């Protein structure tokens, strides 16, 4: 338990005086703490009332209905990025492109050695950087599973309404 009536030290700093301010201060601190607890306990309920998961408003034990899957917008111009560090969306089909321990189909077009011949954009330079900022010969393993960050191009409705505006990229 925190001792609110901390004793004054020899050189009595302001902080000590503040805490020693007597029972009014103590009551005030306790009341504030109590208010925080009430709000913290109520928050999950408030959040639940306002938003819904992709599963919809269903009992956990009930079967879920399939969410609407937005149509992919492929083989057309790439969508502009909303900010510089956003992983660009994939403007082509990827369904048959496997990524596993032995094969990475994405790299067969986007890797350093192949991209020119395949007329595909090179993966970001950042994808070759090691932890200490040196450019490696092969893709850094933290970037191996491309679809962890890059997803197909769709016009998807935001899950939660928001006022985010992108920052134009070149
Ligand atoms: C057969 C070659 C080929 C393969 C395989 C391939 N891509 Fe591509 N990719 C391209 C080409 C070409 C483009 C340029 C846009 C276009 O023509 O569709 C492109 C564009 C992209 C872009 C957009 C880049 C930008 O700057 O806008 C991303 C991201 C991407 N590919 C990711 C992937 C991922 C992830 C995979 C594997 C799941 C993959 N690609 C597999 C050829 C390929
Ligand atoms: C950890 C997340 C992550 C992974 C994994 C990842 N990327 Fe990226 N990628 C990004 C981000 C972020 C950018 C944009 C900034 C940059 O270039 O680093 C990007 C950029 C790109 C670009 C565009 C480069 C340019 O100069 O415009 C291509 C193409 C691409 N990635 C392909 C791939 C491929 C292929 C893989 C798998 C081998 C992959 N990425 C794995 C996050 C990722």
Structure tokens at 24: 């009014």
Report if residue 98 sits inside a domain.
no
Report if residue 117 sits inside a domain.
yes
Q: How many domains does the chain have?
A: 2
Report if residue 69 sits inside a domain.
no
Most distant pair of Cα atoms in the chain: their distance: 78
Within 6 Å (CB) of ligand 2, which residues are found?
85, 87-88, 104, 106-107, 110, 121, 123-124, 126-127, 139, 143-146, 148-150
CA-to-CA distance for 44 and 81, rounded, in angstroms?
Answer: 34
Ligand 2 binding pocket mutation candidate from 120, 143, 152, 167 (most atoms within 8 A of CB) = 143
Residue 8: which domain range? 1-53
Report if residue 153 sits inside a domain.
no
99: β partners: 104
Local structure of 99: helix, strand or coil: strand
Q: Which of 53, 72, 88 is the last residue of a domain?
A: 53
Name which residue leads in pLDDT, 22 or 134: 134
Do 105 and 99 contact (CB within 8 A), yes or no?
Answer: yes
103 lines ligand 1 (CB under 6 A): no
Do 25 and 19 contact (CB within 8 A), yes or no?
Answer: yes
> pLDDT (tens digit, 9 = 90+) per residue, 142-155?
999 999 999 999 98
What's the predicted TM-score (pTM) here? Answer: 0.75
Report if residue 27 sits inside a domain.
yes
Report if residue 31 sits inside a domain.
yes
Averaged pLDDT of the chain:
81
Q: Which of 36, 53, 70 is the last residue of a domain?
A: 53
Report if residue 142 sits inside a domain.
yes
């Amino acid at each position: 338990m925190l001792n609110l009536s901390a004793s004054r030290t020899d050189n009595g700093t302001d902080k000590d005086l503040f805490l020693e301010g007597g029972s009014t201060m103590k009551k005030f601190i306790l009341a504030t703490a109590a208010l925080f607890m009430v709000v913290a306990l109520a928050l999950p309920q408030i959040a639940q009332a306002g938003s819904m998961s992709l599963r919809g408003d269903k009992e956990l034990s009930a079967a879920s209905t399939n969410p609407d899957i937005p149509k992919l917008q492929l083989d057309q111009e790439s969508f502009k990025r909303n900010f510089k560090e956003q992983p660009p969306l994939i403007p082509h089909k990827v369904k048959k492109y496997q990524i596993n321990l032995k094969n990475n189909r994405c790299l067969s077009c986007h890797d350093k050695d192949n991209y020119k011949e395949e007329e595909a954009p090179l993966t970001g330079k950042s994808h070759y950087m090691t932890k200490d900022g040196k450019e490696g010969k092969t893709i850094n393993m933290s970037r191996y599973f491309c679809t962890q960050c890059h997803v197909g191009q769709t016009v998807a409705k935001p899950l939660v309404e928001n006022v985010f505006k992108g920052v134009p990229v070149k």
